[in-house]
Amino acid sequence: MMEIREKFKKYLQSKRFNLNYYYRIKPFLEYCQANNISLQEITFEQYQNFILTLTTKNLDAGTINNFINAVRHFYKFLIYRGDVNEDKLKEIYKLKLLKYQQKNKYFLTEEDLQELIKEALTYIDWPPLKLKTLLYFWFYTGLRKSELLRLKREDIKLYKCEVNIRSPTKNAKERIVIFPKKLTYLLKDYFDSELEEDNAFNLSEGKLNYLIYKLKDCTPDRKISCHTFRHSFGFLLATHIKDIRIAQKLLGHSNIQSTIIYYNPSLKSIKEEYFNKIKIKNL
């Protein structure tokens, strides 16, 4: 069954879907294998029992919904391959997503970033210039983890302040991300100090995960993850750029609904906008 999982991964990449589904499908396949359940013949009750096992692991409703969505996408993949009859997907969809209150996505402000870098430089045993440059670059470009790991220095146009984000799949759209001019000098100094080997910042997935682990450790009051930097970039754009279509392009969202979540104004910004625009005349 694990062989079909690798093929599922390639399918997700070709459709530009989130690889989160690839990781989430593993427990489902292991459950089916351990209980001698055929993917083609699985019943609604058997599938429901798998989801019930997740509820005993103290997972929140949002996480369980991720598993449900992973199974749905997996069966769409099986139908695409011709391995499963379309009626099986109807059976999978009988299990509804759980209701839950969506959590606010954690993000950093520019002031938070300054504090984080200050802490990181004294706590993490990395070359200071590399660490500082990477964190600034990640915050002000909002790259996905996979995009950062694929990035080459030739994709970074220093004096144009542009980053060319290449897609791993053929015929998929590329996009341009822009970074502040001040970052040009920091990037140049870092590139001069360390030759490129694997990618722009010479990062492996393991090294990047280790960095996140250490950032969590040195700032326990903050919920740091790889996606924190992307969310921070989204909120930074929402704060300074009024045209949501510009933010959509910079974030690389195919659906503008993914961008809208960053444009949910705070009460403070609502009041500022209100008092700036709404004034009583001739009172």
Find tokens 């910042």 and name the residue.
201
Strand 156-157 to 175-178 pairing: unpaired
Amino acid at 109: T
**CB-based contact 25:5 (threshold 8 Å):** yes
CA gap 283, 212 in Å, rounded: 56
**Mean pLDDT of all residues in 9-34:** 86
Q: Which two tokens stand for residue 227?
A: 């996606």
Find tokens 């341009």 and name the residue.
176
**CB-based contact 247:142 (threshold 8 Å):** no
- What letter would DSSP give residue 197? S
Closest CA to 230 of 49, 60, 18: 18
The top-scoring range by mean pLDDT among 2-11, 140-149, 255-264 is 140-149
pTM of this structure: 0.60
Closest CA to 219 of 123, 101, 100: 123
> Does 256 have pLDDT greater than 90?
no
Find tokens 């146009």 and name the residue.
157
Mean pLDDT is lowest, of 36-45, 59-68, 98-107, 117-126, for: 98-107
Question: Across-strand partners of 156?
Answer: 163
- In the chain, domain spans: 2-92, 110-265
**Mean pLDDT of all residues in 28-39:** 95
pLDDT digits (tens, 9 = 90+) for 111-146: 989 989 998 998 888 999 999 999 999 999 999 999
Residues of the chain with pLDDT > 90, as a percent, come to 55
CA gap 228, 49 in Å, rounded: 34
Over the chain, what is the mean pLDDT? 88
pLDDT digits (tens, 9 = 90+) for 194-232: 999 999 999 999 999 999 988 887 766 667 889 999 999
User: What pLDDT sits at residue 81?
Assistant: 93
Distances (CA, A) of 237 to 72, 165, 244, 258: 33, 18, 9, 13
- What letter would DSSP give residue 222? S
| CATH number, domain 2-92 | 1.10.150
CATH 1.10.443.10 at 110-265, yes or no = yes
Amino acid at 244: I
